[in-house]
Amino acid sequence: MTKIGKKVANFSLPATGDKDLSLEDFKGTNLVIYFYPKDSTPGCTLEGQNFRDSINEFQKANTQILGVSRDSIKMHENFKAKQEFPFDLLSDAEEKLCRQFDVIHEKNMYGRKVMGIVRSTFLIDGEGVLQKEWRKVRVKGHVEEVLEAAKAL
């Protein structure tokens, strides 16, 4: 499991734009990885829009953004296009990265217990070291907090 102050194990997952992305692809750049439950749902859409709307500020802070959920690449491509996201979305259908970052937990959905992604964000520096994490994220004000942390690196 990934811990603050420790190097993040490399990963490789299919991404939008018909490519595979790995942590190695972002060497020398800070990286925000945000995990979200499902494409095109209200909270997930708003969170993605907030990252989209702050992309220039993140770029000034030498920080790239990746969104991750268990949805398929086809769903991600539609979501990304519709919302005009200037960053890639990774498909983690097998939950490898989700488990590496320990974001799969039991949740209560309409009275039923299900295993799902708990909205979480991680900030990794250009050397691949996890610098900060946010778990059980509330969307309102979250992106601003992540941006401040990225600027401080």
Helix (H, G, I), strand (E, B) or coil at 4: coil
Residue 37, token pair as written in the block? 């439950």
Instruction: Evaluate if residue 109 carries a pLDDT over 80.
Output: no
Other beta carbons less than 10 A from residue 131's beta carbon: 16
Cβ-proximal residues to 14 (8 Å cutoff; 6+ apart), any chain? 20, 73, 90, 91
What lies within 8 Å, CB to CB, of 18 at 6+ separation is none
pTM of the predicted structure, to 2 decimals: 0.96
Catalytic residues: 44
pLDDT digits (tens, 9 = 90+) for 46-57: 999 999 999 999
Confirm whether 4 is domain-assigned: no
- Domain count across the chain: 1
Domain of residue 105: give its range.
12-16+27-152
The domain spanning residue 56 has which CATH number? Answer: 3.40.30.10
DSSP 57: H
Asked, for residue 5, whether it belongs to a domain, the answer is no
Q: What is the pLDDT of residue 124?
A: 98
Q: pLDDT for 78-96, tens place per residue?
A: 999 999 999 999 999 999 9
Tell me if 75 is assigned to some domain: yes
User: Is residue 6 situated within a structural domain?
Assistant: no
Residue 102 lies in a domain: yes
Angle of CA points 76, 90, 125, to nearest 5°: 140
